[in-house]
Structure formats: structure tokens, C-alpha cells
Amino acid sequence: MTTRISTAHLYDASIDALMNRQRELSEAQRQATTGKRVNRASDDPAAAARAERALAHELHIDANLRAVQASRSNVELMEATLGSATELLQQAREAILAAGSAHYSDSDRAHLGESLLAIRAQLLALANSADGAGRALFGGQGASQLPFVDAPGGVQFRGVAGELAAGGEPGLLLSMDGQNIWLSAPTGNGVFETRAATSTGGAWIDGGAVTDPTRLTGSSYSVQFTVNAGVTTYSVLSDGAATALSNVAYSSGTPIEIDGIALRVLGSPADGDAFEAVPSTPSSSAFDVLDRAASALRTPLRSPAQIAQARSYDLRDLDSVLGHVSAARGQAGLALNRMDGSDARLGDAKLQAQSERSDAEDADMVQAISALQARQVGYDAALKTYSSVQRLSLFQYINP
């Protein structure tokens, strides 16, 4: 059977072929110019879905990176602020040490007391520091612009205890617990606190030390002195009950050891004087410590024993506050280290997401250029074919 091909059919077939070649050329040009093999979901639905998932993961990583940056800015401010606070507390410690000199007069000590009040004011300003958005750095989980208020009874915390996190990644702090940092240092030496219960003579007690942690009982101790016929003895009570240390001859500065702790009483106690060692509590305020030290330094006509006792208290408590603030600064430093790790990990994850997205939708440029050249040749051939078909009309032959 012979198939008859009309001139109209040849025209239509040539135009269809030409249009197909043009579409192929256009697609090849688009891939070569954009560098994308998949520009629409219809190009490759499976690859488009992979690229979309990779893009969503990349955007999620970008959000986490922004959270890390916001947290880093705040933590760097907090670390610098705590560093400044540490320097101020060191200055206060030097002033208290200097005040113990026998060459200082009451007027000299009063001047040092004024300098402690100035340091306290600077410390309060640091505690109320804010970030660039006006958020209190040490306001905990929420606070007014000034989380610390200087009230008649001492500095009070008006924020909400805890820490505010940026979210997305663990440990991204936007604020720290100011109450814990500035108002909750351990009293005494961190294990127990020594103090004078009754002191009418010329004795004072040091801060004490732990000699054997395994023997600690958490009890409260009282060292009671008796002076009889010029002979001074002491007895130690544990939670009000007598111990083996009863009517022991007293020697100034000799350690009094019991249940893993050691105390030293110095000077000349009077009959009936008593000193205590009670368990430490997290209740020492940096501002109260400076207030008490400044008040003591501005008090005239104190005896050498009173000066020594106040100096011992102030140095002990200031060291506790200083250690507590330094520990908070260390936590800020650890947070910055964690952020460095988060930055590196998120950066690697973003690079992986970008690579996966590129694998799904990007074109092989060598292949794309080669395909473009091949389709250009095909299109040129289709044009020539169409031109030839146009000349097959009968009118081309009968036209003189």
C-alpha cells in the first residue's frame, strides 16, 4: 500500500519538528545560562523535592546561626562586664588589706571606706548592664530595665531567677541569673562560716579551713572561753552538745580541729567569749559585703581586735564573692566555646545542605554546553529542512 504524502503534511511536519527543536534549544539555553538543571518542579519532580528539602534545612540552619550570633553578642558583653566586676572587687580587696595596717588612722580608713562605696556604685551599674536591645544582661528570665534596685534594706533583685536562652541550639544565653551571680555567693569559706557570738575581750577568729572533707558533719560548733585565775581554756560544743574538746588550754593562733575543720582564735579572749562555726549558705550579697566593709572602715575608735576581726570577715566574704563572680565569668567563657563549636557544626551542616541542593538541581555545565551546541546544530538543520520543504510547491515550477 502506497502512502500518499501531501504538501500540506510536509509543511506541518516540518513546522512541528522546527518547534520541537526550538523548545529543546530554549531549554538547553536556559540550563546553560542559569546553571540549573531543575528550574521547575515539572523538570524533575523527585529532584525538585530533594532540592526543596535541602533548601528548608539550609534556611533552618541560617536561623540557628542568627541565634548563635545574637547569643554570642550578649555573652561577650556579659563576660566583659564580669571581667570589669572582677577588677573592681580586686580593688576593694586591696583597700581592705591596706586598712589593716597599723600605720593607718581612723581618717585614713574612712577614706578607704568611701572608696569602697564608690566601687559598690560602679558594681551596681555593671549588674544593671543591658544589651543593645535594652534587655538586662543579668535580669534572668525577665526583668525591667533595672533588675537590681538599691533599697533601704540593701540591693534587691526585681527580675526572674534563671537564664534566658535564644533557642535553636543548647546553651545560647541571652541573659544570666543575676540573683545567683551578685546576691548568692556562699557565706564563709564555702563550707562553714565563722563568727563572733560574744566578744568582749581582745580576740578574733579567722575564716577557718577544711582539713578532712570526709569527716565533715554539717554541724554547728561553738567555741566557748573560760578565764579562771589568769588561765584561759576553751570548750567546743557541737550542735549544743559537749565534745571531747573540753577545758582545753588556749594558745593564741593554735588551730582548734574538730570533725575535719580547723579554726584559729587569735588574741586574748575574755571570760564568757564565744565564737561559732555554722554551715555555709548561698546568701552572701556582693553589695552587702561592700556595705559592711565600708561601714566598718568608717567607724572610729575601734580596738585592734575589732579591726582585725572586721578585716578577717571582710576579706573572707569578699574572696567568696570574687570567686563566685569569677566562676560566672568562667561559665560565660564556656558558653562562648560552645558557640564556636556550634558555629563550626552549623557551618558544616549548611555546606552539606547546599551541596545536596546543588546535586539535586544544578546542571553539569560541560554537559549543558555540549547539549546546547548539539541542539543549536539540530535547530539549524530543522530550519534548512523547513526552507527546503517550502520550495517544494508546484508554483515554484510553473512560475516563469
Of 45-49, 100-104, 122-126, 214-218, where does mean pLDDT reach its minimum? 45-49
Residue 148 and residue 83 share a domain: yes
Looking at residue 76, its pLDDT comes to 94
- Half-sphere exposure at residue 80, Cβ-oriented, CA atoms within 13 angstroms: 9
pLDDT confidence bin for 165, thresholds 50/70/90: confident
Is 298 inside any structural domain? no
Q: Annotate 107-130 with DSSP letters as a single string.
A: HHHHHHHHHHHHHHHHHHHHHT-B
Is 113 inside any structural domain? yes
Looking at residue 146, its pLDDT comes to 86
Of 116-120, 193-197, 303-307, 339-343, where does mean pLDDT reach its minimum? 339-343
Domain count across the chain: 3
Is 303 inside any structural domain? no
Task: Tell me what the mean pLDDT of segment 83-98 comes to.
Answer: 96
pLDDT at 296 over 60: yes
Looking at residue 351, its pLDDT comes to 87
List phi, psi (to 5°) of 231: -105, 125
Looking at residue 134, its pLDDT comes to 84
Using CA atoms, how far apart are residues 329 and 176, in angstroms rounded to an integer? Answer: 10
Of 241-255, 257-271, 354-368, where does mean pLDDT reach its minimum? 354-368
Residue 114 and residue 69 share a domain: yes
Of 65-74, 137-146, 182-191, where does mean pLDDT reach its minimum? 137-146
Is 197 inside any structural domain? yes
Is 52 inside any structural domain? no
Residue 154 and residue 102 share a domain: yes
Q: Which residues, including other chains, have CB under 8 Å from residue 190's CB and lie 6 or more apart?
A: 280, 320, 323
pLDDT in tens, 339-396: 888 888 888 888 888 788 766 666 656 666 666 666 676 766 666 766 665 655 555 5
Is 50 inside any structural domain? no
Give percent above pLDDT 70 in the chain: 78
Which residues constitute the domain of residue 109?
Answer: 57-187+317-349
353 touches 57 (CB < 8 A): yes
Give the distance, in angstroms, between the CA of residue 47 and the centroid of all CA atoms in the same chain. 41
